[in-house]
Amino acid sequence: MAAIEAEELTRIFQVGGEEVRALDGLTVSLERGSLAAVVGPSGSGKSTLMALLGGLDTPSSGSVSVYDQKLNGMAPVDLAAYRRSTVGFVFQDFFLLSHLTAIENVEVPLKLAQVSRSERRDRANELIELVGLGHRGEHRPQQLSGGERQRVAIARALANRPKLLLADEPTGNLDEKTGMAITEILLNLNKDRDITVLLVTHNPELAKQTEIQFHLGGGKLQKTICS
Ligand SMILES: Nc1ncnc2c1ncn2[C@@H]1O[C@H](COP(=O)(O)OP(=O)(O)O)[C@@H](O)[C@H]1O
Ligand SMILES: [Mg+2]
């Protein structure tokens, strides 16, 4: 069964009267439980694809379905529910809330999903443990290293038990060793929790650890490699 089905996906941005075709008729699918990487040069449409899959942006044309939910034409309230419950998003820049502790950051999506206070605390604690930060739960982002911040962001992305985890250059701001540790967490989530993981990376070593690699170029799928 498919986790992702995107057909003829096109996203055109208007920039100063010019059209930028960030995606230009991209068709791609991914089976449930897969671990895949999106690779390609800067500007090839990787982040645009991730935003469309995550319901953060809407295509100019073409269709996207994730776990049988067709995102095209979805009402805003349903799209918000989709973002909250079906997908988890991890970004290069972490995007943690600086005035909240690690645990409180993980609780944010749980609050939005109206999970009770005690369950929120339990689940956030469990996830902070899972990413190896049990001793840092009360720290705020500026008291954490880059790798630790990304661990918090991963825990937050998992809060509402997503089926699909989208990670856009999750190790892009980290040194090599820290990046490896973060990669390890993502690989284990795919293996142990049956979460479909799609990650964008510039790192060929990281891409090699995935089963499937989608190569983008000029907003199109150039080739797919299965290892
Ligand atoms: N919000 C935007 N407005 C205008 N152009 C954009 C926007 N987002 C992306 N683009 C353009 O679309 C192309 C693909 O961008 P992106 O998906 O970010 O590529 P990648 O993540 O592979 O580096 C680039 O040419 C970029 O400049
Ligand atoms: Mg990008």
Classified as helix, coil or strand, 167 is: strand
Q: Which domain holds residue 150?
A: 96-161
User: Ligand 1: does its nearest atom lie under 6 Å from the Cβ of 48?
Assistant: yes
User: Ligand 1: does its nearest atom lie under 6 Å from the Cβ of 196?
Assistant: no
Over the stretch 99-147, which tens digit does the pLDDT of each residue have? 999 999 999 999 999 999 999 999 999 999 999 999 999 999 999 999 9
Judge whether residue 227 has pLDDT over 90: no
- pLDDT of the residue at 215: 97
The reply to whether 203 and 148 lie within a common domain is no
Spacing, Cα 115 to ligand 2 middle (Å): 32
Helix intervals (H) in the chain: 46-53, 76-85, 102-112, 117-130, 146-158, 176-193, 204-208
The reply to whether 70 and 44 lie within a common domain is yes
The reply to whether 169 and 155 lie within a common domain is no
pLDDT band at 205, cuts 50/70/90? confident
The reply to whether 121 and 178 lie within a common domain is no
Judge whether residue 203 has pLDDT over 90: no
Kindly report the CATH number assigned to the domain that includes residue 79.
Answer: 3.40.50.300
Taking the C-alpha atoms of residue 40 and residue 186, their distance in angstroms, rounded to an integer, is 20
End residue of a domain, out of 106, 137, 161: 161
Taking the C-alpha atoms of residue 5 and residue 31, their distance in angstroms, rounded to an integer, is 9
The reply to whether 130 and 150 lie within a common domain is yes
pLDDT band at 38, cuts 50/70/90? very high
Taking the C-alpha atoms of residue 152 and residue 105, their distance in angstroms, rounded to an integer, is 8
The reply to whether 16 and 127 lie within a common domain is no
- pLDDT of the residue at 163: 97
Q: How many domains does the chain have?
A: 2
Taking the C-alpha atoms of residue 208 and residue 21, their distance in angstroms, rounded to an integer, is 28
**Mean pLDDT computed over every residue of the chain:** 95
Classify 142 in phi/psi space as left (phi over 0), alpha (psi -120 to 50) or beta: alpha
User: Ligand 1: does its nearest atom lie under 6 Å from the Cβ of 45?
Assistant: yes
pTM to 2 decimals? 0.95
The reply to whether 12 and 81 lie within a common domain is yes
Q: Specify the residue with its C-alpha closest to ligand 1, atom 13.
A: 22
Q: 91 lies in a domain?
A: no
Spacing, Cα 2 to ligand 1 middle (Å): 27
Q: 176 lies in a domain?
A: yes
The reply to whether 166 and 75 lie within a common domain is yes
The reply to whether 171 and 122 lie within a common domain is no
End residue of a domain, out of 161, 183, 204: 161
Over the stretch 142-169, which tens digit does the pLDDT of each residue have? 999 999 999 999 999 999 999 999 999 9
Percent of the chain with pLDDT over 90: 95
User: Ligand 1: does its nearest atom lie under 6 Å from the Cβ of 43?
Assistant: yes
